Amino acid sequence: MRKTAQVLVDVLLESGVDTIFGYPGGAVLPFYDALYDSRIRHILVRHEQGAAHAADAYARVTGKVGVCVATSGPGATNLVTGLTNAYMDSIPVVAITGQVPVENIGRDAFQEADITGITLPITKYSYLVKDSAQVPRIMREALYIARTGRPGPVVVDIPRDVFNGPCPEDGREARPRLRGYRPYPRFSPQEVEKVAELIARAERPLLFVGGGAVSAEAAEEVRTLVEKTQMPVISTLMGLGVFPGTHPLFLGMVGMHGTFAANRATAHADLILALGVRFDDRVTGALHKFAPRARVVHVDVDAAELGKNVLPYLGIAGDLKAVLQVLLRWVKPRRCEAWLSEIEEWRRRHPAPYPRLRPDGELEVPVKVRQKPEGPIDPHWLVWEVYRITRGETIIVTDVGQHQMWTALCYPFVRPRQLVTSGGLGTMGFGLPAAIGAQIGRPDQEVWLISGDGSFLMTNQELATAVAYQVPIRVVIVNNGYLGMVRQWQELFYQRRYSQVDISGTPDFSLLARAYGAVGMRAETLPELREALEEARHTPGPVVIDARVEREADVFPMIPSGMSVDEIIVEHPSLAVSRG
């Protein structure tokens, strides 16, 4: 019989795993020895958190399970933030962690940590494998659990002596048999027929799409439903791209930094068909004030989400794609002229900052932004210029903060899996390792990372990974010398008492990039930014552009915490006062 570590590699290959992100250590050395002669590509990150984020992004852009590896103790605990991030955004990730030998478990051995106990609340499932013979079955189960139903992370913790032990390979199983695990609840066609009736009777219907529509691969069904019913569409941050941002029926993102039209439509709709959304606080604002006129129909693969935050008029637990396919057979064509005319007036008063590309490649922007040629750069223009240079066709990765919201508001995503961002957890430092994972997962696509100076500092060591593997990511750092989103809140709600948010002493990121062996550029004006973006597109390997933007630029619209979606601030209060 062969060693368990060798059999484990075979099971991964058999399951279609071709790439792993990881960092070795003593407890996983048997596994790394087995990888040495395998066809699996291993990407050596510079910190275990980077492995988890890279595997997460790999899964987002490919639709496959992302796999990461870490050793016992601190190696495994360094995965926790990345696993929590994947859990909050429902991303299929499997983490293989090493553990001390079985006889030492519970004895406070060197580099021992109860990783299954630590990760229990932030994973779909956690395994501690003490029997070598169980490893093949458990690994197949882990991959199956991660990708089915509502996707999410799974941990497989394997002691060092189990890796080394003999393993009687039990042959491949087409599908694991898990008692009590029903990833796709059965739904009633009669319930779906009721939804069709509600759509037919509604005067102000609204379609609300979330990240669940991405996981379900339901974009085609969503678009067909919209074209058949003419319902306007709003989106969560995670749902951007499910319905094209360039479509006239798309109102934009809803919630704290959503568009005026999307939030106003939510407040005035009489029917909201919510597809694969969680109704988290950043979307709903004050729960008791959310959509007061609407009957909410909530469709989700996870029955636990139905009524968790917003009590639906009708809740359907089931595979979203399958539910929509049934709905399309029942729903009748309709028009919403009066409702769309009302919405169009809101859009005219406060247009979303989506640009349009003219045939000559130049931008048309619907909002007035003061941008002087001599700079500093306005962040809206920065995102618009990335849109112009990529013609809206690239994969965009972001970190978390103001730049994330500017990107969501100003870059019209046209397909699913085009935006890679940390939604539920809001993890600063996600962006750089995620961009690496996304580019490795989709080498046929350009990948651009829009990051902030604070976020970039948290995981900038992964530039060494990008350089080592010559991963051709393009990084644009929105550098305002502040923890920008925190500063904005202090400006608006704490009388500009800027406590511990000034990080202007950060390095010149263009020089830092060169120190790592990447190409580094610096842009302080809009013409310099345009020149740097053009050059970056034609430069092999990783590129970092340090873009100096207006230090106190703010993200609007904005809904203050505890307010409703109808209590939206569309511009800085000082501007409203100056207009009388």
Peptide bond into 557 cis (omega under 30): yes
Indicate the residue among 348, 369, 389 that finishes a domain: 348
Q: Tell me: do 370 and 401 sit in the same domain.
A: yes
Q: Is residue 82 assigned to a domain? A: yes
Q: Tell me: do 9 and 70 sit in the same domain.
A: yes
Q: Tell me: do 401 and 501 sit in the same domain.
A: yes
Give me the number of domains the chain comprises.
Answer: 3
What are the angstrom distances between the C-alpha of 404 and each of 395, 407, 414?
14, 5, 17
Q: Tell me: do 238 and 382 sit in the same domain.
A: no
Q: Tell me: do 217 and 128 sit in the same domain.
A: no
In terms of C-beta density within 10 A (0-12 exposed, 13-18 middle, 19 or more buried), how is residue 109 classed? Answer: middle
Contact yes or no for 397/435 (Cβ under 8 A):
yes
Q: Is residue 386 assigned to a domain? A: yes
Q: Tell me: do 445 and 540 sit in the same domain.
A: yes
Q: Tell me: do 474 and 501 sit in the same domain.
A: yes
Q: Is residue 401 assigned to a domain? A: yes
pLDDT of residue 578: 38
**Whole-angstrom Cα distance, residue 260 to residue 556?**
10
* CATH number of the domain within which 295 lies: 3.40.50.1220
* CATH number of the domain within which 115 lies: 3.40.50.970
- Nearest alpha-carbon partner for 136 in 326, 304, 9, 295: 9
Residue 308 DSSP class: T
Neighbours of 1 (CB within 10 A): 12
**Whole-angstrom Cα distance, residue 544 to residue 531?**
13
Q: Tell me: do 41 and 63 sit in the same domain.
A: yes
Q: Tell me: do 367 and 469 sit in the same domain.
A: yes
Indicate the residue among 113, 136, 167 that finishes a domain: 167
Q: Is residue 578 assigned to a domain? A: no
For the chain, 580 residues long, give each residue's pLDDT as a single digit of tens. 899 999 999 999 999 999 999 999 999 999 999 999 999 999 999 999 999 999 999 999 999 999 999 999 999 999 999 999 999 999 999 999 999 999 999 999 999 999 999 999 999 999 999 999 999 999 999 999 999 999 999 999 999 999 999 998 766 665 688 988 999 999 999 999 999 999 999 999 999 999 999 999 999 999 999 999 999 999 999 999 999 999 999 999 999 999 999 999 999 999 999 999 999 999 999 999 999 999 999 999 999 999 999 999 999 999 999 999 999 999 999 999 999 999 999 999 999 999 998 888 888 988 878 777 787 999 999 999 999 999 999 999 999 999 999 999 999 999 999 999 999 999 999 999 999 999 999 999 999 999 999 999 999 999 999 999 999 999 999 999 999 999 999 999 999 999 999 999 889 999 999 999 999 999 999 999 999 999 999 999 999 999 999 999 999 999 998 888 878 999 887 755 433 3
| Alpha-carbon dihedral sign for residues 283, 287, 293, 298 | positive
pLDDT of residue 1: 81
Q: Is residue 254 assigned to a domain? A: yes
Q: Tell me: do 103 and 238 sit in the same domain.
A: no
**Whole-angstrom Cα distance, residue 573 to residue 317?**
43
Q: Tell me: do 121 and 207 sit in the same domain.
A: no
pLDDT of residue 173: 61
Q: Tell me: do 13 and 69 sit in the same domain.
A: yes
| Residue span of the structural domain in which 127 resides | 2-167
Q: Is residue 580 assigned to a domain? A: no
pLDDT of residue 172: 63
Q: Is residue 150 assigned to a domain? A: yes
pLDDT of residue 580: 33
220-273 pLDDT per residue, tens:
999 999 999 999 999 999 999 999 999 999 999 999 999 999 999 999 999 999
Q: Is residue 568 assigned to a domain? A: no
Contact yes or no for 46/461 (Cβ under 8 A):
yes
